[in-house]
Amino acid sequence: MKRFIVAGLAAALAYASPGLAQSSSYTPGSYWTVSSIDILPGQAENYADFLAGQWKRSQEFAKSKGYIEDYFVLANVNGPDGEPDLYLVTRFKEMTTRAEDQRRTTEYEAFMKSDPHKLEAESGARATMRTQKGSMLLQELMLKAR
């Protein structure tokens, strides 16, 4: 019986070894955050001003520091009622630790010459222009040639 168990274990290990396993059809790529935004009536230009100003400046700061790879503003051109008007997309390479997040937040606040209370108040003031419907965290799958 002991021999049978050892032989079974050896066979299982052989099939589980990297050399014999079929490789995946993809490799994990960058992460993408997608925020869904509804623009309130009469506020499209005001919100565009915010995006072209403070939002873009903060994204460029993050990009210059290597925190993000790129960012995008996408309009939902053919969206039916109930779908967001805009998607704010940011692409970054790796998840960070809480300590790194705190370090980056402190650095960002210094760059913006602001503090958490002021930044929160500014975010609240944007509620007159838009409703944030939700957000997603996605990961790109880099497909391999077959």
C-alpha span between 131 and 121 (Å, rounded): 15
Mean of pLDDT values over 77-102:
94
At residue 10, does pLDDT exceed 70? no
Q: Give pLDDT tens digits for 90-102.
A: 999 999 999 999 9
Architecture of domain 25-143: 2-Layer Sandwich (3.30)
At residue 19, does pLDDT exceed 90? no
- Residue 81: pLDDT band (50, 70, 90) is confident
**Around Cβ 39, how many Cβ atoms within 10 Å?**
18
Q: Are 82 and 60 in contact (CB under 8 A)?
A: no
Mean of pLDDT values over 107-119:
91
Give the mean pLDDT of the chain: 88
| pTM as predicted | 0.80
Mean of pLDDT values over 29-43:
97
The region of weakest confidence among 1-10, 48-57, 60-69, 78-87 is: 1-10
C-alpha span between 20 and 11 (Å, rounded): 12
Q: Are 36 and 132 in contact (CB under 8 A)?
A: yes
Residue 127: per-residue pLDDT:
92
Q: Output the CA torsion sign for 110, 115, 119, 122.
A: negative
Q: List strands edge to edge, sheet with 70-75.
A: 70-75, 86-92, 26-39, 130-143
Q: Give pLDDT tens digits for 38-59.
A: 999 999 999 999 999 999 999 9
Q: So where are the chain's domains?
A: 25-143
- 54: burial class by Cβ within 10 Å (0-12, 13-18, 19+)? middle
